[in-house]
Amino acid sequence: MEYQYGQNNENNNYQGNNDYIYYNSQPAGNIPPEPERKKKEKKSGRGLIPLCLVLSLVMGTAGGALGSGLMLQQYNKKEALQEADPETEMEKDLPELTEAAPVTQMTQTEAAGLSVKQITEMCLPSVVAITNKGEAEIKSFWGTFIQQTEGSGSGVIIGKTDSELLIVTNYHVVSGSKELSVLFSYQEGNENISDAEIVKGEIKDYSSAKDLAVVAVDLEELSRETMDNIKIATLGDSDELAMGDQVVAIGNALGYGQSVTTGIVSAVGRSVTTEDSSDTTGSANEYIQTDAAINPGNSGGAMFNMKGELVGINSAKVADTTVEGIGYAIPISDIREDMERMMQQETRTLVEESERGYLGITVSNVTNEINQAYDIPIGAHISSVAEDSPAERAGLQRGMVITELDGRMIRTREELIEYLSYYRAGETVTLTVEVRTEAGYEDRQIAVTLYTAKEAGIKQESGQSENSSQESQSTPYDQNNPFGNFFPFFNY
């Protein structure tokens, strides 16, 4: 018999409602009529009933006696075998296993975890909404101008110190922020949102490579009511997740307020390139894939297992009309050490440009392609050093690659510039740089005291160094600077 699935063919004679069609070797509708049976002559039934009754009594009595005799004989034989070898007889009494043994359906038990409603009630107080107000540089035919921006995301409360409430979120939720505001989930039900206690948040630390950030809220800004209605999330072990496990996602979808979706773990260990990932270094994460709905605004929100433990930070989804139910979360076990390190960093506030500290260098990115082609470490490559700048006085030289600032990883020039925007002129920072030697690159720690933009030879209006503008326009290729004039340089 042949089967064809997924279509209904009008040419066959199957009239059912199934999505598959059966084809028989003999077409329907041409079945030959059943041959007519010969009529038998009717015979008289007199005397038949009394004869049947007599036969039934005789056979019943004989059958009963025979059955009793056989059972008695079997019982005597069984007792004799038990006296000889009891274990052998017990094995013979066990039912034989067959290949077609029935399967018992598994029933839900307490081990399966809490319900989605219970997870929501227990975990919602640990999820917050984050609003990011910032500025974006827009380039157009008429020139470059600054546009005010505003975006919404989510965060999860993961800790509290004596002075701060700590929230984990995605880096792309807080990137480029001039002002961060945090709204707690229990206040979203207020009829007038202006009555809600919206507090200011500060970026404590972040990693663009991990798409991870920790935001701090001053406890002095929080009321007793807020402290009584929020919770710190319980961290779980994402390494225990397996395909098919149920998960619950909570986040500020589309900026409408906290919402709950549920699904399963579709896969683990996925590599993803998102629109917000750096186009120079790529993403360092391996993600949990889920069919729970992850939408814009869910970024930075929580993925919980059915014990109510935080196992992932919702991060991205596949946005394609041909794709449905593919969202991604960062596994909590992969970023636990990063979160703990970020939580211990000193919280800094953004410094006005007139008071901001500068190094006096031009830098460019070392992309993955350059790293592989020339074996130059990924980081902010120093293309030039301004004369008599703090960088020159500290010993920074062209060709060095900055990889850390005060223990914070630097993978791109944008990270270096953003980190420095939290330091004032006169402060001292410790840079980790990679220096080329005959044996290859080696780490060095260099302390640099920052200057103002004017002292460092930086024109704030144009961002160009007075001492190195010609180098920025065209730089010949050499082993210390393989970028040529194909890569833009930034002064800082």
Catalytic hit among 152, 205, 207, 211: 211
Residue 404's alpha-carbon distances to 401, 430, 445, in angstroms, are: 9, 8, 9
**Angular region, 406: left φ>0, alpha ψ -120 to 50, beta rest:** left
Residue 336, pLDDT score: 95
The Cβ of residue 133 has, within 10 Å, a number of other Cβ atoms equal to 14
Catalytic hit among 126, 172, 334, 364: 172
Per the CB < 8 A criterion, the answer to whether 309 and 332 are in contact is: no
Give long-range contacts, CB 8 A cutoff, 24+ apart: 463-471: 463/490, 463/491, 464/491, 465/360, 465/362, 465/384, 465/386, 465/491, 466/386, 467/386, 467/387, 467/389, 468/362, 468/384, 468/385, 468/386, 471/362, 471/383, 471/384
Token pair of 453 as six digits: 């933009």
Residue 254, pLDDT score: 86
Q: What does the alpha-carbon distance between residue 467 and residue 483 come to, in Å, rounded to a whole number? A: 20
**Angular region, 394: left φ>0, alpha ψ -120 to 50, beta rest:** alpha
Residue 188, pLDDT score: 79
**What contacts 492, CB < 8 A, 6 or more positions away?**
358, 359, 360, 361, 362, 363, 413, 416, 417, 420, 458
The CA R_g of the chain, rounded to the nearest whole Å, is 38
* pTM for this model (two decimals): 0.67
Catalytic hit among 152, 266, 283, 299: 299
Per the CB < 8 A criterion, the answer to whether 260 and 120 are in contact is: yes
Q: What does the alpha-carbon distance between residue 410 and residue 376 come to, in Å, rounded to a whole number? A: 14
Residue 43, pLDDT score: 47
β partners of residue 401 = 381, 434
Q: Is 299 a catalytic residue?
A: yes
Q: What does the alpha-carbon distance between residue 283 and residue 368 come to, in Å, rounded to a whole number? A: 11
Residue 446, pLDDT score: 95
Residue 64, pLDDT score: 53
Nearest to 211 by CA among 252, 170, 266: 170
Per the CB < 8 A criterion, the answer to whether 250 and 260 are in contact is: yes
Query: Half-sphere exposure (CA, 13 Å, Cβ side) for 380?
Result: 30
Query: How do the pLDDT tens digits run along the chain, 492 residues long?
Result: 333 233 333 444 433 333 333 333 334 444 445 455 444 444 445 554 454 444 454 455 555 554 555 454 555 555 554 555 544 444 444 344 334 334 333 333 344 579 999 999 999 999 999 999 987 778 777 878 788 888 899 999 999 999 999 999 999 999 888 889 999 998 876 655 556 788 999 999 998 888 999 999 999 999 999 999 999 999 999 999 999 999 999 999 888 889 999 999 999 988 876 554 444 444 678 899 999 998 888 999 999 999 999 999 999 877 666 778 889 999 999 999 999 999 998 888 888 888 999 999 999 999 888 888 888 999 999 999 998 899 999 999 999 999 999 988 898 898 899 899 999 999 999 999 999 998 889 999 999 999 988 877 776 544 343 333 323 333 333 444 444 333 333 444
The Cβ of residue 159 has, within 10 Å, a number of other Cβ atoms equal to 17
Residues written for the chain:
492
Per the CB < 8 A criterion, the answer to whether 450 and 428 are in contact is: yes
Exposed, middle or buried by CB within 10 Å (0-12, 13-18, 19+), for 261? buried
Q: Is 421 a catalytic residue?
A: no
Q: What does the alpha-carbon distance between residue 180 and residue 201 come to, in Å, rounded to a whole number? A: 5
Q: What does the alpha-carbon distance between residue 211 and residue 331 come to, in Å, rounded to a whole number? A: 12
Q: What does the alpha-carbon distance between residue 284 and residue 206 come to, in Å, rounded to a whole number? A: 14
